[in-house]
Amino acid sequence: MALAIENAMKYEQAESSRLRLPHWSSQCALAILQLDRELARCKRDDKTLTVMIADLDGFKQINDRFGHLEGNRVLRLLPTP
């Protein structure tokens, strides 16, 4: 129950931030919440977490022209370390 309340509060905080930054989408706010849950899980399980943030030139045009599902497929084609 405490986790549900904590998640609801974090959602409100993320939504509040999103409203102050209109270029953020609800998906972005939800991604932040997911990241927070993963960080908590890793801390609880004494595991590490790696996060990669990338700015890909021209990627918006892929999503705009072909849709987000195709954009996701393109992201999976990127080389990983």
Single pTM value for the model: 0.43
66 has a pLDDT exceeding 90? yes
User: 73 by DSSP, 3-state: which?
Assistant: helix
Can you give the pLDDT at residue 67? 92
pLDDT, one tens digit per residue, over 4-56 is 777 777 777 766 655 555 555 666 777 888 888 899 999 999 999 888 777 78
pLDDT at residue 75, as a whole number: 87
Rg, the chain, Cα only: 16
- Sequence-distant (6+) residues with CB within 8 A of 51 are 35
Query: Is residue 42 a contact partner of residue 49, using CB atoms and an 8 Å limit?
Result: yes
Q: CB-based burial of residue 80 (10 Å sphere; 0-12 exposed, 13-18 middle, 19+ buried)?
A: exposed
- The answer to which of 37-46, 56-65, 72-81 has the lowest mean pLDDT is 72-81
